[in-house]
Amino acid sequence: MKNNRLYIQIRSKKIGLLLTDARLAKNASVYDISTQTGISENRLNDLEHGIFPPSLPELEILAFTYNLPIEHFWGRQILQSPNQSKNGENFQKLIHLRNKIIGANIQAKRQEHQISIEMLADCAEMEVDQLSKYENGKVEIPIPVLEIIAKCLNCQIEFFYDNQGKIGGWRKENAEIMSLRELPQDFREFITKPINAPYLDLAMKLSELDVKKLRLVAEGLLEITL
């Protein structure tokens, strides 16, 4: 129990520092972020000071607002320049819905592994009633607690990420951009030229062929060229 409590305290402080850094890099006040996200100023101050850790839906929305990959808050990188601002909107309904979905996912994963709610509560070192509230989406789950639950369920925190809707699409887009940046420069230049689109289309079609059909295509090309 003591180790988990210490872990939650340390993670809360670390996430708080990264949240503060992200806001300052955006050159925004707590009031600005509160207006954009619908999260109260008091709550944001508590999160930044590490008094309480954020829930995953809160962190997803803050990452979206700061235009950062959510994985940033598991790292140590401090931002150096302001990020491009985004138009804010009220995310409170989304937070409520995401809490419900995360709770349902916990319950589904627990049942998949045939783990009783009592067994999971014991592994996560929490009361059964508290875990039941999490599963029902009645109470938001702090990030460090969700990490502990995920470990007990033998899954990664990514299992609970939002992969649909506006934020899910934004995360996917950012992941694709990061993957593109990791390619060699000549690959990137080839891919981004519209004139090369037919070659990319052909490559995609070839990648869908099984080995036998691909071999027949290769043999046909050899007959033409020889």
CA–CA separation, 58 vs 79, rounded Å? 20
Which architecture does CATH list for 2-91?
Orthogonal Bundle (1.10)
Q: Are the CB atoms for 114 and 105 separated by under 8 Å?
A: no
Q: Largest Cα–Cα distance in the chain?
A: 75
DSSP state of 38: -
Q: What is the DSSP string of 155-195?
A: --GGGGS--SHHHHHHHHHHHHHHHHHTS-HHHHHHHT-GG
CA distances from 187 to 102, 180, 196, 208 (A): 38, 9, 11, 21
Specify the pLDDT at position 105.
95
Give, for all 226 residues of the chain, the pLDDT tens digit: 558 888 899 999 999 999 999 999 988 999 999 999 999 999 999 999 999 999 999 999 999 999 999 999 998 888 754 444 444 456 788 888 899 999 999 999 999 999 999 999 999 999 999 999 999 998 999 999 999 999 999 999 999 998 877 777 777 777 777 777 777 888 777 877 788 888 777 777 777 777 777 677 666 666 665 5
Specify the pLDDT at position 56.
95
- Write out the two tokens for 43: 């709550």
Specify the pLDDT at position 85.
42
Q: Are the CB atoms for 4 and 148 separated by under 8 Å?
A: yes
Look up the pTM and report it.
Answer: 0.66
